[in-house]
Chains A and B, each alone.
Chain A
């Protein structure tokens, strides 16, 4: 369930990037405070392990389809939340580059969706309180499955939210949720099941390995529900604030910024700071894109948007002619470079 660039607006993408980068920095700081040197190579190879493990498929019992490991849960259990989050972020980073999963802008969202929930929600709030050193394999399996489901459901939910906030897809909230959550119920349960399976397998085969790993984990993650909630509250406020600022400068904060940079003369008019929001709306309403705006007052912004592509056949034809020309020119450009290269050799 990798979020994709194409479905994102810059504002949502940037907000989640900021969030994920913030958490990475926080984890890096935590790790630096009380780190055991050994964890450096351990984190590194475990990242590669998750990557390699994801390449093996298995058959989901009862169905014909196949699945693979996500990794967030098992990392959290083995390395603790801080190190696990960094490892998960690194795995997703490499996936973007080598497998083209998602895209660079969506990476922030993906780190958030697949990293935050297993490491900072499911593990500290569900797995850790319920599983102890002496827990039996069955208990581990059940708790891991519950944690896996919780993490994946939250992740899937975030994908829906991010898509809706970006406004590129027409899918209504209800339908999208209805499609995403059941699928991820199954995926989450499998994730938990595999996590528990691997932990139990290693525990019975080579118990000392888990012990040696948990020694280098070093820091016992003490995360209280209160802290997590407080953290989320702050994040929500910040995110909400940032988003509403961007949203108010519809169509996009970036577009608006580009207008400023590219020196488009600012509209003369009432410089009333208290009506900053309204002002931005008005400003954008005068952008060339939206010159087809209806004359009605009121929510000019939204309606102008719906009506905007109302182009007559004449402009459509010139658009198509232009498209063909652009395609031709770009193709020529590419071939030209190739030709020059061959000639030089």
Chain B
């Protein structure tokens, strides 16, 4: 099955103010893989993620999602295939109740109302938030907000799940719950994070990004134990591996 593939070939991108964010990035992620993306602040992680469902289009190079090149005319396909969970839950939970928010995506896919309700209930159940259905997002805890944003994306049943800092500002218990949740997903997963322990736990493969380039690409267990490589890229060993 070639459906769940995401392929970047020599992708370049610069912001209007001249900042070069991506400088010839290439990688290929295939069906069922779970890939962590790590890198210092400003390395280009968020820009990279903005390219994965076509919010930004590359200035040079090509991106293939499934069987299709990503361009203006295949945007809606890309957005159906790749579900992105962004950093700040408040920017993603824009509807006034949890239910309405999770229903937003499925309704845009043009499903019947019964199907939408089904999907929403399913997705909320998966993340363990069905009881929060009628709550407004501002009554939720940070962990619940994260879970609901994930539900909002999985309700669209994307083939590939992309997440930007999923564990940011979570308390330890919510973080653990999130990790367990992520482990259960059978989707192709791409997770960008500074939380290297989370990447260790969830991802089999890891990309180290630096200055808009891929600095290293390999098994998580190898890369994240390589102290030299990590320090070179302004990172450090996962906490669980630091002996103090």
Touching in the complex, A and B, CB below 8 A? yes
Binding site for B on A (CB under 8 A): 41, 44, 208
Interface status of B94 (Cβ within 8 A of chain A)? yes
Which residue on chain A has the smallest CB distance to residue B91?
A41
Task: Tell me the B92-149 residues at the A interface (CB within 8 Å).
Answer: 94
Closest 3 CB pairs of A and B: A41-B94, A44-B94, A208-B16
Interface size in chain B (residues, C-beta < 8 A): 2
Which residue on chain A has the smallest CB distance to residue B16?
A208
Inter-chain CA distance A100–B77, complex, in Å, is 47
Question: Could you mark each residue 16-50 of chain B with 1 if its beta carbon is under 8 Å from any beta carbon of chain A, else 0?
Answer: 10000000000000000000000000000000000
Binding site for A on B (CB under 8 A): 16, 94
> Can you list 3 contacts pairing A with B, beta carbon distance less than 8 Å?
A41-B94, A44-B94, A208-B16
Q: Which residues of chain A have C-beta atoms less than 8 A from B94's C-beta?
A: 41, 44
Inter-chain CA distance A44–B95, complex, in Å, is 11
Q: Which residues of chain A have C-beta atoms less than 8 A from B16's C-beta?
A: 208
Inter-chain CA distance A208–B16, complex, in Å, is 11
- Within the complex, what minimum Cβ distance (angstroms) separates A49 from chain B? 14
Inter-chain CA distance A44–B93, complex, in Å, is 13
Q: Which residues of chain B have C-beta atoms less than 8 A from A44's C-beta?
A: 94
Q: Which residues of chain B have C-beta atoms less than 8 A from A208's C-beta?
A: 16
Which residue on chain A has the smallest CB distance to residue B17?
A208
Q: Which residues of chain B have C-beta atoms less than 8 A from A41's C-beta?
A: 94
Inter-chain CA distance A44–B94, complex, in Å, is 10
Inter-chain CA distance A208–B94, complex, in Å, is 25
- Within the complex, what minimum Cβ distance (angstroms) separates A215 from chain B? 13
- Within the complex, what minimum Cβ distance (angstroms) separates B164 from chain A? 19
- Within the complex, what minimum Cβ distance (angstroms) separates B62 from chain A? 26
Inter-chain CA distance A208–B15, complex, in Å, is 13
Inter-chain CA distance A212–B16, complex, in Å, is 12
Which residue on chain B has the smallest CB distance to residue A44?
B94
- Within the complex, what minimum Cβ distance (angstroms) separates B196 from chain A? 33
- Within the complex, what minimum Cβ distance (angstroms) separates A91 from chain B? 16
- Within the complex, what minimum Cβ distance (angstroms) separates B139 from chain A? 16
- Within the complex, what minimum Cβ distance (angstroms) separates A266 from chain B? 48
Inter-chain CA distance A44–B16, complex, in Å, is 26
Inter-chain CA distance A44–B90, complex, in Å, is 14
Which residue on chain B has the smallest CB distance to residue A45?
B94
- Within the complex, what minimum Cβ distance (angstroms) separates B16 from chain A? 8
- Within the complex, what minimum Cβ distance (angstroms) separates A168 from chain B? 36
Inter-chain CA distance A208–B18, complex, in Å, is 14
Which residue on chain B has the smallest CB distance to residue A41?
B94
Inter-chain CA distance A41–B91, complex, in Å, is 10
